[in-house]
Structure 1
Amino acid sequence: MPQLILLNKPYGVICQFSDHPTHPTLKSCVDVPGVYPAGRLDTDSEGLLLLTGEGALQHRIADPRWKLPKTYWVQVEGVPDDAALARLAEGVDLGDFVTRPAAVRRIAPPALWPRHPPVRFRKTVPDSWIELVISEGKNRQVRRMTAKVGYPTLRLVRVAIGPWRLDGLEPGQWRALDVDLADLPRVGQAEQPRRKAGPALPRSAGSGARARFRKPR
């Protein structure tokens, strides 16, 4: 059965295992040989990154035609009004492409780990948090979306990809699961964000999954 690693990628870690001249890489967190990211996460973004050594599983996760929903908690500069949230939900014209419809809602500030370095704030401008669920993942898409509607992203944390969730992993920690490809969502299926629940770290990916847990090195 294919194995999948769920990693909470820290801020500033670049999504590669080969050495980089200015950034720590994934090998500072994951000591498992022969695994590679299934998809990517920007260096200045944090949260869930999936890794596997199984080609079929990597393709199933990374291929955009499967439309696995990706859930982000986004700290933005300012407080988005209803019109801005509607634009994010309906799709934003970013010039080179128009984003697909998304699910978006305001959330209370989540209880997250401290970021290093911390976010720089402007004393005269408030900040707030939204939850954004998209089914695509183009380069810096979430940051471009919030900036386009007038609310630049200050901090970006991915908390779920399809059925897999952080489940309380601290930065640099990872968990390994055995995954059955037949159990994965089919094309076009998507999880919608909970509308009434407060922001808490997502719970485990699925009952019956055998997990192995590792702390950061």
Structure 2
Amino acid sequence: MKRVQLLSILLFLLTTILFAQESLIVNAYNREVTTLNGQWHYIVDPYENGFYNYRYEPFENQKNPGNGAFFNNAKAKSKTDLVEYNFDKSDTIAVPSDWNTQKEKLFYYEGTVWYKKLFDYSVSKSSNRVFVYFEASNYETDVYFNGKKLGKQIGGFTPFNFEVTNLLKEKDNFLVVKVDNKRKKEGVPTLNTDW
């Protein structure tokens, strides 16, 4: 009985591991890479104004999220446009790294920080697929590419990736990443622990 039970647990674990790895790029370090490491523009958003509208509904769930959604990377065309953020005029921070040790004013900050990276990419005519690959991000991460949500990752110590093959442009691609490091009672680590 114990042997059969152990075997079923091992099969479950093996199935779970295989399923989890199905969407993760394997051997990432030996693939052709265009690194986005370096300086990224960032905006600190403690009230998550770039994620929720005034009714506290996520912009991403709306048909027309408008200029308030930070993931759209909107630009004011005139002084009367209601765009209250500008990544291009915001401060920069090194990626990969943490914000707590790079910026003294963020040393104890817990909450949401938005990152943006603008880049060009030579779209090859080959059949290769293109992914954005993150080694990790602490703790809840929403990823947007050229204004489209790619997905969400929860957990701060594992790599994750999203395919962008059909979203790539030759010029002015922008990757916007919302990172929230707030500790939660039901999270790991919990409230009485630090990162």
TM interval, short-chain normalised = under 0.3
Under a length normalisation based on structure 1, what TM-score does the superposition of the two structures give?
A: 0.26
Q: Which has the higher contact order (CA 8 A, sep 6+)?
A: 1
Under a length normalisation based on structure 2, what TM-score does the superposition of the two structures give?
A: 0.28
Name the larger-Rg structure: 2
